[in-house]
Structure 1
Amino acid sequence: MVGLPNVGGAVGRIVATAQNGLEVIRLGGFDTGTEPAPYRVVETEKMYRLRRYFPDDPGDGYSHVILIPPMMVSANVYDVTADNGAVSILHRHGIIPWVIDFGSPDHEEGGMERTLTDHVLAISRVVDLVHRVVGRDVHLGGYSQGGMFAYQTAAYRRSEGIASVVTYGSPVDVLAALPLGVPASLAVPGAELLADKVFTHLWIPSWLARTGFQLADPVKTARSRVDFLRKLHDRDALLPREDQRRFIEQEGWVAWSGPAVAELLKQFVVHNRMVSGGFVIDGDIVSMTEITSPVLAFVGETDDIGQPLAVRGIASAAPDADVFETVVPAGHFGLVVGSTAGRLSWPTTAEWIRWRDGEGDQPDTVAPMSPDREGRGSGISWSDRLTYGVGQVAGAGTVITKEIVGAVDTLQRTTRAVASESVRTVPRLFRLGQIQPSTRISLGKLMSENNRRSGDAELFLFENRVLTHEQVNTRIDNVVAGLIECGIRPGEHLGVMMDPRPSALVVIAALSRLGAVAVLLSTADDLDEMMTESETRVVVADPDHLEIAAAVSDRVLVLGGGEQRVIDRADGIHVVDMEQIDPAQVRLPAWYRPDPGLAGDLAFILFTRVQGRLTRWSVTNHRFAMSAFGAAAAAGLSTHDTVYCLPPLHHASGLLTTLGATVAGRSRIALSRGVDPERFQTEVRRYGVTVVSYTWSMLSDVLHAPGFDPAQLSSVRLFMGSGLPTGLWAEIDRELPNAKVLEFFATADGSAILSNIDGSKIGAMGRPLPETNAVDLAAYRPDVRQLEVDADSGFVRRAEINEVGMLMAHAGQRYEAGGRVLRDVFRPRDRWEVSGLLFRRDHEGDLWFMGSEAAVIETSDGVVYPEPIRQALSRVPSVDQVIVFGVGEHGAQVAVAAITLREGATSTTPTQLRIALGELAAIQRPHLITVVGSIPVSESYRPLGSELVRRGVPRPGPRTWYRDSEGRYRRYTKSAAESIDWSRPTPEPVAVRPAPAASHNATGRSGSKQPVTVVDAVAE
């Protein structure tokens, strides 16, 4: 009989368990008797109902906060428990809470068609409403995705009317630490597939949202259920957490609309634009850098959904905001609901709000957030995981050292990088290698293909607006109709004179779609010559270039704006306002076939100037494709990139390596109105620019601007273009270590395209782009300006390593050879195009530009190559622009280097100049170096030296130096000028010093067998 009491206790537990279990089955849980906090719905819209909690309290002197729930969670998340809910705690601390209730989309009119933009615009309207009611700036808070909404709304409004932003477990750098540690390499393709193919047709019901949340932490979910069942007999023990349990397991979940999920995945997972910037809200380009109001981010130490590393991304994403954080020992849900949230999160939120409104002190638990605190991995430490319990099961029986973890992480990142590059690059190069003369390929065709593939994706960003592929494609077709109405036919040459803007790119694409030839014109003084050389009679211009175009052409077609000045000027014959043509009324002729261009057809005509002589560059569709696909592959462009176009479209870098590569890479292209340092930094941040294109020295104005902040360009991974001075290249390498430089070099006819893909050799032109024409260097005699023939074989001798030679491009496509073509050059029946450009090849096979054949300076000491001098002097910190030229008769020319000084620099010293030129032999240095007031630049920022050449040898003066026999520089005085005879060779120095590796004799042969170490070169 001793054991009977124990039997009775067991029976009692069984009975209590059965009774409580039956109540849970019938009612879904226990009746706790708690009542929700009082609120009144003060505004109802199609998108939301706005709750004002504690409506009977006038809130005089109170601060106000608007709380936003995630899309999948009920608005009641802020009022789960009566005494410990967010709204109640905030009210007790003198804060009036307003909560946005989006309802459940599956029960709302039009709810399943809601987009991410709809939510942000709705929140923005709520901010305006509450601001008007309370008459002061309001605080904006959000949990999880609700916090992402808060960030996006603050950025969209540029913080107008927002006192601060408070978020709870809200990821910003999403790809830095995805939920459950899913690798980005797996998540991005999967998210893109779901966004494009699944959520355009489906939506997520509430039960699936609940299941997904529980699967995010299956160990905790299982443990909490087991704990609930074990205590099912003890009603009093379960009641304190019953409201929270019922919310998580039953009542707290709502459906997601498919379009909203698709937009979330596309913008903030696939493209990670919370960090990079450039996300789109209602057609406007928005960046987190627009947030200027203070930010407080709550970070869960064991949050596996909004992981600490992802949450802390706000510190770098919003550089103009004061960003703070509070670390809470909780998981994702525990940040806002439960005892920990009631003890830490919400009291700290109230103290923060009062502090920001000037009514209290800074909370002790609030500290400035620094990007440096991100660390590696997810940001959740092993000790936190073990303490919390999440990692106990996952880590049981397994001991992994930090070294192994690091090795696995490195291998995984390397594998992902290689796989990613292969997926992007191989198909492009394969397609490039398959092009034949009869292959249909053109700019217009590529844009049509992109539109069919992803018409709703963004293509053009301009002046904070965005145009999709579909919108651009429709505009192209409309312009084609207008051109046909104006009598334009396939094969006709049309000049294009327009600033870089969407309408200009549309015109170029429309001419390609029609099969006409776009002649890219600058506004230089030689327009008449360009028109004659290109056989152009009709010009398409924007309103700003109407008068210039009308001065050189009898017929101008004006596109863009429909401005009154154009309407007044248009007569329908000499000046046609194309905006007045209704494309719907144009009857397309029977001959019209969209995108008829073949690889062998002429597509574009560009112009370049070599030694003052205008040179026509005819670009076939094949050469356009070579440049476009080759540059896209070299730059690794993808749909994740936004390319910022600085060069004018009449420059090869603007047309081929910016527009062409962007279209081939299916990236976004952001257009600028010109180089302005302040606008540059603003637009790079706002658009989320990852790649910047340039020409020549145009980046100088940006990098040397007084307010330049390298941190503002954190999203930029690549600068690509041609002509970059080595000094600027080195600055980018130093100031922006996370960005690389991809320098291209193309011959004047496009027969050879080189690129420095690796970027480690500053100044090198690199090697030919894959699948473009092969190149070689022919031995060259600069003294007689002839290729050097081998006496035994009779073929042209190939230049040796570090020997200066003539660049030869293999003329494989006979229909494209536009320059001087030689046969039987290196072997029988080969064909090579002579470029007229001189290079040397180093031991690794990389090419270095030495100058054009025409630019070689023939002095009494032998040949001097201008490019190594120009690039070496560009490295002097005080030097801005450099021009190197020869003056006088060939064989006795004076090598002159003219330099300008950077703004704020008063002088440079002979020692600085000599050190900069130290890798050149004394006789390879300029005879004179002179500081001039200015060096003009072209529209593409190429230095122009014709006026300096015309002036001749610089006069003696305090800012001109001459080279002595040992290569040192001394002040060029009147007496020095009278004593120097430039026609006589420089006497040998008394002290014998080893000749640097870059020295060359008059034949162009290397004067030293040592490896050449010239470090500077640039594209012509």
Structure 2
Amino acid sequence: MNLAYDILGVAARRFPADVALIGDWGQLTFEQLETRVASVTAGLERLGVRPGDRVGYMMNNLPEIVVAYFAILRLGAIAVAVNVMLRPVELAYVLGDSGARVLVCEPSVAQTAVTAKAEVAVVRAIVVVGGASGGVTPFAELERPGATAGVADRHPDDVAMLMYTSGTTGSPKGVMMSHAWLDFTTSAWISVYKLCRMDRMLVASSFFYAIGSIMEVLAPFRVGASAILVERFRARAALDAITRFRPTATVMVPTAAVQLLEEYDAERDDVSSMRIFFTAGGPCPTGFPARARARLGWEAREIYGLTEAHMVAVAAIGTPVREGMLGVPGGNLQVCVVGEDGREVSRGLVGEIVCRGDTVTSGYWGRPEETAASHRDGWFHTGDLGVMDADGYLKVVDRKKEMIIAGGANIYPAEVERVLATHPKVAAAALVGIPDETYGELPVAVIVPCPGAAAAGEEIVAFCRSALAAYKCPRSVIFVDELPLTPSGKVARRQLKEKILAHQGG
């Protein structure tokens, strides 16, 4: 039994001639994909990889990333997702923490990989797609024609993959995803999407993220649907792929969705094939669903979840969308909102979102203390604050750790940032709490102005006061050229706060 690999293996037996992957590079049927996977599995064995070993993959959405991923699973090893934006020190941390024996990567990050390998003794080999430089193994060496390897048996509770969190509040942690977890979660996403064999999923998110892999490739494969690979997201490239390949479904992070909407050209782009459109990975800007419906004809639905817990709230296809609310729990997930004492609060009150069910991770790789801290009394504590209405629909208010307490009043940055984002001169915004002797903390807005726009701090504060209670409004405004981001594209709030304090001499 190998539940994770069977996501491909079963599709190859049931739909051998159906297209599995397609892109500007060409296409692969399920049978062709499995043949390549079996060959690369044999290549990994020749490198000394054994069941239970960790193997990293660090590529944009090339077909080889899917081949490598399933080869790792077929061998019974553990697939470690690695962001291509990591620098050598960050990569060395992930490789060392996971104990990866091999890293498979693309040429653009080969030097980063070689530099990181020098700092991590456990790494045996760097495999590069198309690579031939010194110190690396070309991917072609793994994929010898005619070579093959069998499918390793794995227990459903064995770890199949590790996906590292972005580490906004500390060092990144490897979220463990078991074979049973992947089996159940991909099946649950099929129910959310109402996917069928005739669907074609646009993979607009990177495969090293949960959206790009689990939600946009693995789930479609379960029903024999195709995945359309966009090598790296650019709004124009995504729109061209939609027009050319006619996808019926996609999931995008809100930033990408907004960029696509702004790039859309009704004279050039045909987006009429899309019937399933979700955003995930962060809150959607106010008014975006209405704009998407008006310009693209798409009904935008939001997904709220974490790397550690999928589909905490989602408005599945066929269920009503409520303005201001995300949706209800998906799969068999149980969700409730609790107070500081761990007891469920009354509906309509703010508390921490906790959940339990088969789409929740068993914990963090090699971190029993942090696993115990997040899994308490049978519930996974998300660290997010939310509200649940009488019908079980959930709304996320903010991150618990990002909440600002000014003079005893709770300020949720996400709420203020949504208002700031609607100002016509604001391109991007973040709200952080700065220590204050009198109030404990004071909210400070950090603004990236739109090109050519000249906005004054007083104007921004006055704009907020027109929509928010006075205590929520920023006490001061700082203008910057760009906001520091984590590898997953979220605002690095701790780094931003440190820069402000350093500038103030605090």
The TM-score range, normalised by the shorter chain, is 0.7 to 0.9
Where structure 2 has 5 or more consecutive residues not aligned to the other structure, the ranges are 118-122, 365-370
Aligned counterpart in structure 1 of residue 213 of structure 2, from 652, 655, 659: 655
Distance across 2 between alignment mates of 1:912 and 1:715: 41
CA distance in 1, matches of 2:265, 2:359: 50
Structure 2 equivalent of residue 896 of structure 1 = 444
In 2, Cα distance between equivalents of 1:911 and 1:471: 60
User: Is the alpha carbon distance of 1:599 and 1:560 closer, same or farther for their aligned partners in structure 2, counting shifts above 3 Å?
Assistant: same
Check whether the contact 2:56–2:102 (CA below 8 A) recurs between aligned residues. Answer: yes
Q: Deviations over 1:380-428 (max 9, x none)?
A: xxxxxxxxxxxxxxxxxxxxxxxxxxxxxxxxxxxxxxxxxxxxxxxxx
> What SS class does the counterpart of residue 513 from structure 1 fall into?
helix
Q: 2:251 aligns with which of 693, 708, 727?
A: 693
* 1:647-796 superposed matches below 5 A: 647-705=205-263, 712-720=270-278, 721-727=280-286, 729-730=288-289, 732-736=291-295, 738-750=297-309, 753-757=312-316, 758=319, 760-761=321-322, 764-771=325-332, 773-779=333-339, 787-788=340-341, 796=342
Matched, 1:463 2:24: yes
Give the structure 1 partner of residue 372 of structure 2. Answer: 820
Q: 1:519 maps to what in 2? A: 80
What's the counterpart of residue 69 of structure 2? 508
Partner of 2:367: none
Q: Does the CA-based 8 Å contact 1:498-1:542 persist in structure 2?
A: yes
Counterparts in 2 of 1:880 and 1:578: CA distance versus 1, 3 Å? same
* Counterparts of residues 795-944 of structure 1 (less than 5 Å): 796-810=342-356, 816-818=362-364, 819-820=371-372, 831-888=378-435, 892-903=440-451, 905-907=453-455, 920-944=468-492
Quick one: distance in 2 between partners of 1:587 and 1:685?
37
Q: Which residue is 2:124 aligned to?
A: 555
After TM superposition, the structure 1 = structure 2 runs for residues 49-128 of structure 1, keeping only pairs within 5 Å, are none
The alpha-carbon distance between structure 1 residues 578 and 812, as it changes in their structure 2 partners (threshold 3 A), is closer
Q: Which of structures 1 and 2 has the larger relative contact order (alpha carbons within 8 angstroms, sep 6+)?
A: 2
Structure 1 residues 567 and 451: CA distance shift in structure 2, 3 A: same
Residues 629 and 908 (structure 1), Cα distance of their counterparts in 2 relative to 1, 3 Å cut: farther
Per the alignment, residue 120 of structure 2 pairs with none
> 2-side partners of 1:915 and 1:802: how far apart?
28
1:604 aligns to 2:161 (yes or no): yes
Alignment CA distance shift 1:709-1:926 (3 Å): farther
User: Which one of 496, 500, 506 corresponds to residue 948 of structure 1?
Assistant: 496
Which residue in the other structure is 1:541 paired with? 105
Taking a change above 3 Å as real, the CA distance of residues 684 and 584 of structure 1, as seen in their structure-2 partners, is: closer
Summarize deviations over 1:218-270 as a string: whole Å, max 9, x none.
xxxxxxxxxxxxxxxxxxxxxxxxxxxxxxxxxxxxxxxxxxxxxxxxxxxxx
Q: Which runs of 5+ in 1 are unaligned?
A: 1-438, 780-786, 789-795, 957-1020
- Return the alpha-carbon distance in structure 2 between the equivalents of residues 742 and 808 of structure 1: 22
Residue 104 of structure 1 is matched in structure 2 by: none
Alignment partner, residue 441 of structure 1? 3
Aligned AA for 1:874?
Answer: A
Deviations 1:880-907 (A, max 9, x none): 3222211115951111222323446554
Alignment-mate amino acid for residue 609 of structure 1: S
TM-score of the superposed pair, with normalisation by structure 1: 0.44
More helix by share: 1
Equivalent pair of 2:444/2:475 in contact (CA under 8 Å): yes
CA contact (8 A) 1:751 1:811 kept: no
The farther-off stretch of 579-588 and 843-852 is 579-588
SS of residue matched to 1:624: helix
Output the CA distance in 2 between the equivalents of 1:536 and 1:567. 22
| Aligned CA distance change for structure 1 residues 478 and 728 (closer, same or farther; 3 Å) | farther
Shift of 1:664: 2.6
- Determine helix, strand or coil for the equivalent of 1:768: coil
- In 2, Cα distance between the equivalents of 1:447 and 1:833? 30
Cα offset for 1:687? 0.8
1:629 corresponds to: 187
1:829-856, CA deviations, whole angstroms, 9 ceiling, x for partnerless residues? Answer: x622222222111333221212222211
Distance 1:807 1:510, change over 3 A: same
Which amino acid letter does the alignment assign opposite residue 898 of structure 1?
V
Q: Which amino acid aligns with 2:249?
A: V
1:935–1:814 CA distance, 2 compared to 1 (3 A): closer
Q: Is the 8 A contact 1:696 1:942 kept in 2?
A: no
Cα distance, 1:647 vs. partner?
1.6
Query: What is the distance in 2 between the residues matched to 1:798 and 1:578?
Result: 52
Counterpart Cα distance in 1 of 2:289 and 2:143? 52
Do 2:445 and 2:477's aligned partners in 1 also have CA atoms closer than 8 Å? yes
Contact map agreement 1:557 1:578 (CA 8 A) in 2: no
Cα distance between partner residues in 2 of 1:745 and 1:484: 39
- Secondary structure at the aligned position of 1:733 is classed as helix
Q: Determine helix, strand or coil for the equivalent of 2:491.
A: coil
For residues 717 and 815 of structure 1, do their structure 2 counterparts lie closer, same or farther at Cα, with a shift above 3 Å needed? closer
Q: Give the aligned partner of residue 492 of structure 1.
A: 53
| TM-aligned CA deviation for residue 872 of structure 1 | 3.1
Q: 1:880 to 1:691 in 2, by over 3 A?
A: farther
Q: Which moved more, 1:542-551 or 1:754-763?
A: 754-763
Judged with a 3 Å threshold, the aligned counterparts in structure 2 of structure 1 residues 676 and 599 are, in CA distance, closer, same or farther, namely same
Indicate the SS of the match to 2:3.
coil
Mapped contact 2:254–2:285 kept (Cα < 8 A): no
1:497 to 1:639, Cα distance in 2 relative to 1, 3 A: same
The within-5 A match list for 1:302-321 is: none
User: Contact conserved, 1:874 with 1:880, CA < 8 A, in 2?
Assistant: yes
CA contact (8 A) 1:726 1:872 kept: no
Cα 1:903–1:681 change in 2 (3 A) is farther
Alpha-carbon RMSD: 3.2
Distance (Å, rounded) in 2 between the aligned partners of 1:632 and 1:663: 10
| Superimposed CA distance per residue, residues 449-483 of structure 1 (whole angstroms, 9 cap, x where no aligned partner) | 11111111111111152211111111111111111
Q: Is the 8 A contact 1:643 1:658 kept in 2?
A: yes
Shift of 1:543: 2.6
1:520 shift after superposition: 0.7
Structure 1 CA distance, aligned partners of 2:290 and 2:12? 39
State TM-score, norm by structure 2. 0.85
Change in Cα spacing, 1:765 to 1:527, as seen in structure 2 (3 Å) is farther
Q: Distance in 2 between matches of 1:770 and 1:496?
A: 28
Q: 1:926 to 1:906 in 2, by over 3 A?
A: closer
Per-residue deviation, residues 680-724 of structure 1 (Å, max 9, x unmatched): 222210011222322241233332348576963222223323224
SS in 2 for 1:567: coil
Contact 1:878 1:908 in 2 (8 A): no
Q: Matches of 1:752 and 1:702 in 2, distance apart?
A: 24
Q: Quote the offset at 1:542 in angstroms.
A: 2.3
Distance change in 2, residues 1:889/1:752 (3 Å): farther
Equivalent residues of 1:497, 1:541 under 8 A apart: yes
Identity of aligned residues (%): 19
Max Rg structure:
1
Aligned-pair CA distance for 1:489: 0.8
Distance in 2 between the 1:587 and 1:736 partners? Answer: 49
Q: What amino acid is aligned across from residue 335 of structure 2 in structure 1?
A: V
The number of residues matched between the two structures is: 485
